[in-house]
Amino acid sequence: MSRAISWLVTVPRSTRLTTVVVAALIALGAAGAVHPADAGPRARRAKVVAQADAQADAQADAATRERTDAAMAKVKRGEQERTRLLAARGKLDKQYQAELAEIDKLKRQKASWRRDRALRSKLTASQATANKLSKASRELIILDAQLYKDRKAMIAAIDKELAAGGAGRKAALTKARAAAARAIAPAKKAKKIVIPDDEIDPLADPEELEAQARALRDSEAELARQIASLERQAARFRKQAELRKQHERADELASRDGEQPRRTTGGSGARGDAETAADDEGAPAPQDGDADDGLSDPSSGGGEFEGDPAVVLSDVVDADTVDALRKAERSSDPSTKAAAAERARGKVQQRLDALKKRRQEIEQRARELAE
């Protein structure tokens, strides 16, 4: 200590002042490093605010994720319910057709008291099944409408979470969003099938002919897909027409039996009256829409043509076939729709066969030129 005082006495005054100032600054810096809590109330307030902001952000992210999970769970429950309803409706459809077949079988038997009693029982059972089938179809229509809304809400929730960062599950959310978007996407607009030129140019070289043959081959594939689609539609409409005929036949049987006298015994008047009333009710056919809905998925358009074949095939088939397709589209008779689809299918098959033959001739011409 005495040595330091001796040094300060011997050095010039300006040097002593500079040294003291530097020492003071070093001491203040060291004190600040050792005691960060003494930085002042402003620093403490800034730290508290930062912590509060971080906690609020975490809570907002958790709430966003919870809303997304709830929306996805709701859609999943709806899809599971739809699968259950489809299975139940398919089972009811098979049961109803079996009951109608039993009614036809009983009607062809010789008239007797036992036969009439069994027939009345079958008619009553078939009516109950028809009512259940119609109810299941209506429930599916309502559920599909609700599922559409739920999927849109799920997409909105996923978009909001992805905009906030996704919290490490971006891939799963993107996949779920794509599936929901596909489910609610509108049907693709009908695209006209355009057949390329199939005339053989005598001046064309082998490369040009091969390119022409490839274009024709692509058109053949399009026509083949359209033929398969028309076959599916014709089969569906034929099934609808058959079901409608079965309904009408059941009504006719009930009506005929209602005109026949009933044989009742003395002690069974109440039971006989109940059976007669059940027989008079018959097995009425469901409404037109219900009959169609019982055979096809509601998402397929309720029994209408897939797309608009009159547009798709306008350059493929003749004008009369196009007119038949347009009339069938406006008709409510499935037999008319089936006949139009079958007619169009035959015309498209003829065009496909002619196109395939022409393409083979072009390929043969290309091979001859290449040789």
pLDDT tens per residue across span 38-97 = 456 777 666 666 666 556 555 657 788 889 899 999 999 999 999 999 999 999 989 988
Instruction: Report which residue type is found at 54.
Output: A
Q: What is the pLDDT of residue 73?
A: 94
Mean pLDDT of the chain: 75
Q: What is the pLDDT of residue 15?
A: 52
Res. 257: pLDDT tops 60:
no
Picking from 146, 167, 186, the residue at the C-terminal end of a domain is 186
* Number of Cβ atoms within 10 Å of the Cβ of 297: 13
- Its domain, for residue 248, covers 188-256+306-371
203 shares a domain with 170: no
User: Which residues contact residue 36 at a Cβ distance below 8 angstroms, ignoring those fewer than 6 apart?
Assistant: none
180 shares a domain with 199: no
Angle at 76 between CA 73 and CA 82, to 5 degrees: 145
208 shares a domain with 174: no
- pTM for the model: 0.49
Q: 20-24, 52-56, 126-130: which has the minimum mean pLDDT?
A: 20-24
Residues in the chain, how many? 371
76 shares a domain with 114: yes
132 shares a domain with 15: no
| Overall number of domains in the chain | 3
165 shares a domain with 133: yes
Distance CA 148, CA 314 (A): 33
> Where does the pLDDT of residue 119 fall: very low under 50, low under 70, confident under 90, or very high at 90 and above?
confident
Res. 347: pLDDT tops 70:
yes
User: Which residues contact residue 193 at a Cβ distance below 8 angstroms, ignoring those fewer than 6 apart?
Assistant: 219, 222, 223, 226, 312, 313, 315, 316
Contact assessment for residue 223 and residue 193, using Cβ atoms and an 8 Å cutoff: yes
Say if 57 falls within a structural domain. Answer: no
Say if 250 falls within a structural domain. Answer: yes
Res. 332: pLDDT tops 90:
no
> Nearest to residue 210, comparing CAs of 369, 46, 334, 99?
369
Say if 95 falls within a structural domain. Answer: yes
What average pLDDT score do residues 244-263 get? 61
Picking from 138, 157, 186, the residue at the C-terminal end of a domain is 186
Contact assessment for residue 79 and residue 141, using Cβ atoms and an 8 Å cutoff: no
Q: What is the pLDDT of residue 191?
A: 74
Angle at 186 between CA 223 and CA 155, to 5 degrees: 140
Say if 236 falls within a structural domain. Answer: yes
Token representation of residue 48: 């508290």
Say if 51 falls within a structural domain. Answer: no
> Where does the pLDDT of residue 290 fall: very low under 50, low under 70, confident under 90, or very high at 90 and above?
very low
162 shares a domain with 13: no
> Nearest to residue 140, comparing CAs of 282, 296, 280, 305?
296
Res. 281: pLDDT tops 90:
no
**What are the Cα distances from residue 28, in Å, to 17, 36, 337?**
17, 12, 96
169 shares a domain with 87: yes
Token representation of residue 309: 């074949």
Say if 361 falls within a structural domain. Answer: yes
Res. 32: pLDDT tops 70:
no
> Nearest to residue 226, comparing CAs of 138, 339, 344?
344
Say if 292 falls within a structural domain. Answer: no
3-state secondary structure of 112: coil
Quick one: 73 exposed, middle or buried, by C-beta within 10 A (0-12, 13-18, 19+)? exposed
Res. 132: pLDDT tops 80:
yes
163 shares a domain with 173: yes
> Where does the pLDDT of residue 18 fall: very low under 50, low under 70, confident under 90, or very high at 90 and above?
low
Contact assessment for residue 68 and residue 157, using Cβ atoms and an 8 Å cutoff: yes
Res. 148: pLDDT tops 80:
yes
